[in-house]
Amino acid sequence: MSAIVCPPLFVYIPTYNRPESLRRQIVALTAQRADWPGDMRVLVSDNASPSLSDDDLMSISSEFGVDVRRNPANIGANANIALGFVFARTDELLWILSDNDTLGTTALHSIAARGMHEGSDAVIFSTKTDAPSGFVHQWTSAWDGVHEVGLISNVIYRSSVFLPYTSQAFFYHNTSFPHLCVLLSALKDRGSLSYAVLPSVEVFAPQGPHGEQAGDYSLSHNGMPQLLPLLPGSQARKFARLWLREQGGEFFRQRDAYPGIHISSKASLRAYGGFKARVLLCALAIRHAILGPIIPPIKRALRSRRP
């Protein structure tokens, strides 16, 4: 049997204020470098972390043989993630890997041996399967097929397929899911995408609390409805109504943090969500007007009673 040969792998690690998690991830990744049957390059993109100096980054570069860069200022997590598509090359596989989704010890071996299906546009890692499989994602059921690809570490992209849609990551960056916008834009244009699917347990180590910079998801509570133009009509209506039922309370509670994005998302929900979405919006607005001023003090009082 001939030896496996895989396309070059580009691992892009966006990071902010997580020096311990970053080091743990790089140790786990570079220890497996020989397990990837092809070229591999690693780029750490630091988003102007106060806890990481230029000297710290250069030390990581020299110790582990990886490339590092540092944004001149904090450009926001979404823009830093989107830069992964900018720095990728068309002949590579692109893996935008979170600094704190630490790899298991046999991750690269499993991906190379069990995930590299010929003709697949992407490799997807899922907690919902216990064996490798394949999946064709049709645009007609775009949202039904998203599953866990909204998490940056869960997708390896075939760059030749996705790089033509890089601009969409920046156009839709206020959704808080720029990487998903690239995928959905490719899906909309091509009609379907073919995925190889691997169980997450074959790739990631069990995750525990890391005690460093917490993720800030407040933007997603305002911006995620801006994904709606990337979905077909029936899927957009389904997603708009489901999102309002599950996230509508936070959508209104967080509106003052991103007022412009809130207004734009509300317009998208009205335009794409249909009559039921407009009714839900009205009901949520009334509930927020009545209960909004009293919920924060109640939450603070309950937190103060915790031991």
Q: Which segments of 149-217 does DSSP mark as H helices, in order?
A: 159-162, 166-171, 178-190
Residue length, the chain? Answer: 307
Whether the predicted pLDDT of 299 surpasses 70:
no
Q: What are the distances in angstroms from CA 82 to CA 28, 152, 166, 185?
A: 24, 10, 8, 14
pLDDT band of residue 292 (cuts 50, 70, 90) is low
Nearest by Cα to 143 from 172, 184, 204, 176: 184
pLDDT digit string (tens) for 120-149? 999 999 999 999 999 999 999 999 988 789
Residue 1's pLDDT is: 38
Q: Which two tokens stand for residue 243?
A: 């999102």
Backbone angles phi, psi at 10, to 5 degrees: -110, 115
Nearest by Cα to 139 from 230, 30, 38: 230
User: Whole-angstrom Cα distance, residue 120 to residue 193?
Assistant: 8
Burial of 215 (0-12, 13-18, 19+ CB in 10 A): exposed
pLDDT digit string (tens) for 33-67? 999 999 999 999 999 999 999 999 999 999 999 99
User: What is the topology classification, in CATH, of domain 9-202?
Assistant: Spore Coat Polysaccharide Biosynthesis Protein SpsA; Chain A (3.90.550)
Whether the predicted pLDDT of 17 surpasses 50:
yes
pLDDT digit string (tens) for 84-99? 999 999 999 999 999 9
Average pLDDT score over residue span 236-253: 94
Residue 297's pLDDT is: 60
Residue 229's pLDDT is: 96
pLDDT digit string (tens) for 177-205? 999 999 999 999 999 999 999 999 999 99
- Provide the mean pLDDT of the chain: 91
Residue 123's pLDDT is: 96
Residue 210's pLDDT is: 60
Q: Which two tokens stand for residue 232?
A: 């077909």
**3 state SS of 225:** helix
User: Whole-angstrom Cα distance, residue 199 to residue 40?
Assistant: 22
pLDDT digit string (tens) for 94-117? 999 999 999 999 999 999 998 887
List the chain domain ranges. 9-202, 220-304
Average pLDDT score over residue span 167-186: 96
Q: At what angle do helices 19-30 and 54-64 cross, to 10 degrees?
A: 10
Name the residue type at position 292. G
Residue 294's pLDDT is: 67
User: Whole-angstrom Cα distance, residue 75 to residue 110?
Assistant: 34
166 contacts 69 by C-beta, under 8 angstroms: no
Whether the predicted pLDDT of 209 surpasses 80:
no
